[in-house]
Structure 1
């Protein structure tokens, strides 16, 4: 999208269901200028329902099951908010997400799916899990299978509900337990007279497969209570079970069933254009929607077919134009039901077939769907001008986010050496430490400033990371944060979007600062080419912790892992695993004030940011001292070594390596020592005898801290 075009409308996609995933793919190939897209989903992935039985049976890994929403959002130029909507105000056009303020929209779509929890069944919440949401079920199943395989619990499973989902899952679970060397005991508890959801021929195939696996079907049975080791039935009997799942029908999410929207049994009523009745700017698709013009059972095939119509109608609504397309669902669809092993039964239009070849057909269909969302089209980069100055093409790598976009260490260092020395007596230090030191009563005040290009499109998460990053300089000086000024740059956008953005970002900054006893007292805002956030901070300390204070024999402690630069570069290129990226961003947003207070007795300390671990460590060492680092002890973010090995390096990586060379075997771990960090860990030199206890206390506080090496009597750094 051209930076000259302002943003004027907010599109909010609530949920990462199949239809929304396909809309994001289409949007990435042809975005509508002027629209800011946000996706809200609990977690970085959305499981594909068609492959869940195969995953349970062991035919697919969890990664093969999951749609990577982080990667899709990057492709679409969208923000991904890791959270769950718990309320909607269609009049104000806002949604509620726990942990942040109201999120406003101009046009929104609901695709949150359904659940199979049974809150009215005593004991279900404590001892069972619904087959939907799929992600929670898949995680619970993996945990149970591991416990059963280790002998920690018996291989006993109860499935509440004898529809297609219950029968298919029972066979998948029985197959997986057999493959693990177990003798499974699986019972399907069905209140009706038999299996439901399929015709008699398909039902016979399912029953035959259940017989082969020893799956028991209890007909006309109703669960009364779920216990830790059994399910009590109304008839007085009990079914032994160490794992209980509910697959008895589709239920709307409680918040949606209570929403001020037109509902049908808790599902949102939509018209033939997929609009929520009476709400021009609100749409709903997938299992959470009830199509008033053509009611259909809850099945993912309808969501997939809805996606193109939803995409076009969202664009029309955002343009403020009429002419919405109608959606006409297919009269019937092909049911392909797995039978545990790699075979399936198919049913459509009264015809039923079964065999391994049908499982292969199902596998091809499912993998083809997922490949659309994994193998995203490579969008051609803008062409270089025909003629350029020398060096332009060599610097053609996209500018990194976060600290990867800093000015090179050599250039900055040279400029700082030419600055004049302080002339005021109450200015106790010049450039070179983490913060300037000013005389303040009997103690000192520290002063620092820092700013970042957006490391993610979620304005609240970015604001939290930027705040932690800026506070790092104050914490590293052993100071208590005092006051802050914020500097915000927003891309060109309408006044309404400006207000929304500032409210989210400044609210997050103020909240983070207040938790550290610091006040946000003012700042400056402007519009520019992209989103940026900076903070100027003061802090108070009796005796600031300065650089060059490391002593021979000191232990080196790092409070969080390395790798933010390379993972962010890989994410920009669409080559990082979304779960790794989101986990890392949440870790970056975690404050380190408690860690800094615990390390207050350090001989010297700094925060690891743009110049990498090696560059910042070099600044802590006094004359004649070096450092010996342990490769085995270095904490690393998941995905960082793989990203570095694949060549994903920040734009200042080479400059960092030149400024602070490290001896040791070449490889991605050594390269990580030069990786620029954003909101990186605190690096402290502490007395040897304190190190073990400090690391243990830091870990108790929730920090991924480690002792990474020692200060030695030799020049330079070495990795062993």
Structure 2
């Protein structure tokens, strides 16, 4: 992560709602220099509410309505912290994120939406699902539809709330279930006599559409409770339901409703016409979580979209000391309501338009698709032209990769190491060439290794965790118990306050992994530079002989404890081409310690951790050291989600070609074959074990949460790798 401007301010955006998504897009085109932007969100995507009914009805895939926040953040030059904020101290200017502690800010903005979990209805929290958050509802609905399709559920649904959202979702679910052969299976429950919040002309049309799709409407009733089989109504017969959705009203998230921020009776945060939280000049709020005190409006995504340009302007003004401007929302807005199938109706200014329904659907679809294209087709930003003449060969079309993709090429490294003098000291039992050096200190065997990573994720805490797991891999791979760690950190140019914040995050991430492994951070070194790098020098203690590359035997089976393809995914992510869900899933695995995997594999004849030189490179080293050949089943080699498709599309890490030259593999030329040469950061262990123990070890590793696989065996022959 390279920066040319000294970072002086932290801007923290909590939530990936519509206002923040659009604001980040604007920021990417015209950023405020010197600002470190952080987006905190529970996951790597944010759903677009306008296309939710279409997804529920089966017209759109899940991916079609998700804003990829990882790609958006890359475009905006922002970092993403995956986590659901659960607290704010606006006086101390910190956001609390479970598992990550406090994230400090100079300026912050809240856009976390609301929920419709209706906890005030007995039984709803246990047996119902709110339509918001949208992603939780969509997940539950997709799972329920699968159960209906498999014959495990009858397809009986109830919707509590007959507003616009409730009507759209009732019709959408009825349409989806109708496609599975289920008719007259949805009931809409509304406390008022009119549907769609009394929108003039809408009630009659919506009732006609519901009659067409077999949706029963029960109006002017009160809900008493929700059970696993029914919705209980006051003075009315129970409504049978296996899947109960709540859309009536909206509720503020508990952590905001119980915060010290000024808020209304429902717990929504008071904001003035500048979108500043009342009483603060450094805290904004937008979208459904905000209560517009100067111009109250109903909760609707259109107001969040319209607020985005003002939010961008005023946040920029707060960071630069310039003048802010007011947000003046329109008095009314066009409501395009889905009617289950690919038809729609429109309402505005007290009038309702119902024909032609198919044309209105196409209009709505065009508006929705146009909105989503803003987050899949980013403007091409011109790279800065080099100043002055450029030497031959100095230009490159590929960005330098982070993590192990930034390693020095294996051939060049081997050539340099070959010129080193041999070890002369008797207490150095093993020097360069294996995962770690082995020393003898006072009769105790100690392993020693060093690793550092060029930053590839701007989340300092996450990068610290991954760097620690990566460095400890060498100790674990040799069968040693981690003992100590020296930390080396290079931070981008930033102010003293930002340095302190970054170091707190890094130390928390590294410390959790190191201490969890039974070791201690005993010191280190820090410096300022152009980009983030984190390195660790680690030691470990051996009770017996080290597990090295040399002990593999003919007939041994090869076990790999982690997928491969991280270098390809990370290289594509730097270019904004990787899927955000795949990237988030990768980070989760890379940050997972592997001490327990090493314990399980302590019976291995030979073992190494697969890192910068790729699976082929590290397996070649084992074959050469043990004087055997390897027979690999390519289809059994696990890969990270998205890696094969990205490799097929031509994405490669910057060290790929050098890895391929250093460790040739005989076999088919395809995308998965290419991943054998992909550099791995925080990679898995490659172990040679007795054939009779391989299946037991694989099962133990998988039971411990590792994506382990048996990938091949060792055979007689000159050191080489053959893939089937």
**TM-score over 0.5 (shorter chain):** yes
The number of aligned residues is 718
In structure 2, C-alpha distance between the alignment counterparts of 1:386 and 1:110, rounded to whole Å: 44
Aligned to 1:547: 549
Please tell me whether residue 343 in structure 1 is matched to residue 343 in structure 2: yes
Per-residue deviation at 1:226? 1.6
Residue-by-residue CA offset, 1:238-286 (whole Å, 9 max, x unaligned): 1111111100011111111111111012111111100000010000001
Residue-by-residue CA offset, 1:401-429 (whole Å, 9 max, x unaligned): 10001000001001111111222211111
Per-residue deviation at 1:166? 0.7
Aligned to 1:533: 534
Aligned to 2:427: 426
Per-residue deviation at 1:396? 3.9
SS in 1 for 2:371: helix
In structure 1, C-alpha distance between the alignment counterparts of 2:115 and 2:348, rounded to whole Å: 26
In structure 2, C-alpha distance between the alignment counterparts of 1:331 and 1:219, rounded to whole Å: 29
In structure 2, C-alpha distance between the alignment counterparts of 1:128 and 1:202, rounded to whole Å: 27
Aligned to 1:710: 713
SS in 2 for 1:167: helix
Aligned to 1:277: 278
SS in 1 for 2:270: strand
Per-residue deviation at 1:154? 0.7
Per-residue deviation at 1:114? 0.7
When normalised by structure 2's length, the TM-score is: 0.98
In structure 2, C-alpha distance between the alignment counterparts of 1:184 and 1:368, rounded to whole Å: 35
SS in 1 for 2:189: strand
SS in 2 for 1:135: helix
Aligned to 2:248: 248
In structure 1, C-alpha distance between the alignment counterparts of 2:332 and 2:236, rounded to whole Å: 40
In structure 2, C-alpha distance between the alignment counterparts of 1:219 and 1:39, rounded to whole Å: 42
In structure 2, C-alpha distance between the alignment counterparts of 1:472 and 1:547, rounded to whole Å: 14
Aligned to 2:465: 464
In structure 1, C-alpha distance between the alignment counterparts of 2:692 and 2:381, rounded to whole Å: 55
Of residues 532-541 and 226-235 in structure 1, the stretch that sits farther from structure 2 once superposed is 226-235
Per-residue deviation at 1:462? 0.8
SS in 1 for 2:277: coil
Q: Gaps (5+ residues) in structure 2?
A: none
Aligned to 2:124: 124
Q: Is the CA contact 2:665–2:722 (under 8 Å) kept in the aligned structure 1?
A: yes
Q: Is the CA contact 1:556–1:684 (under 8 Å) kept in the aligned structure 2?
A: yes
In structure 1, C-alpha distance between the alignment counterparts of 2:583 and 2:24, rounded to whole Å: 19
Q: Is the CA contact 1:548–1:619 (under 8 Å) kept in the aligned structure 2?
A: no
Aligned to 2:690: 687
Regions of 4+ moved over 6 Å:
none
SS in 1 for 2:555: coil
Q: Is the CA contact 2:549–2:626 (under 8 Å) kept in the aligned structure 1?
A: no
Per-residue deviation at 1:131? 0.2
Aligned to 2:502: 501
Per-residue deviation at 1:199? 2.4
Please tell me whether residue 630 in structure 1 is matched to residue 633 in structure 2: yes
In structure 2, C-alpha distance between the alignment counterparts of 1:261 and 1:200, rounded to whole Å: 37
When normalised by structure 1's length, the TM-score is: 0.98
1:98-113 correspondence runs (5 A): 98-113=98-113
Q: Is the CA contact 1:155–1:184 (under 8 Å) kept in the aligned structure 2?
A: no
Aligned to 1:301: 302
1:78-93 correspondence runs (5 A): 78-93=78-93
SS in 1 for 2:617: helix
Match of 1:719 among 708, 717, 723: 723
In structure 2, C-alpha distance between the alignment counterparts of 1:687 and 1:63, rounded to whole Å: 44
In structure 2, C-alpha distance between the alignment counterparts of 1:236 and 1:686, rounded to whole Å: 68
In structure 2, C-alpha distance between the alignment counterparts of 1:568 and 1:4, rounded to whole Å: 22
Please tell me whether residue 570 in structure 1 is matched to residue 572 in structure 2: yes
Q: Is the CA contact 1:177–1:184 (under 8 Å) kept in the aligned structure 2?
A: no
SS in 2 for 1:357: helix
Over 3 Å counting, the alpha-carbon distance change for 1:390 and 1:210 in structure 2 is same
Q: Gaps (5+ residues) in structure 1?
A: none
In structure 2, C-alpha distance between the alignment counterparts of 1:559 and 1:170, rounded to whole Å: 46
1:638-677 correspondence runs (5 A): 638-677=641-680
Residue-by-residue CA offset, 1:632-686 (whole Å, 9 max, x unaligned): 2110001000111111111110000000000001011110000000001011000
Aligned to 1:561: 563
Aligned to 1:26: 26
CA RMSD of aligned residues (A): 1.2
Please tell me whether residue 603 in structure 1 is matched to residue 605 in structure 2: yes
Per-residue deviation at 1:234? 2.4
In structure 2, C-alpha distance between the alignment counterparts of 1:21 and 1:49, rounded to whole Å: 13
In structure 2, C-alpha distance between the alignment counterparts of 1:531 and 1:184, rounded to whole Å: 59
Q: Is the CA contact 1:555–1:691 (under 8 Å) kept in the aligned structure 2?
A: yes
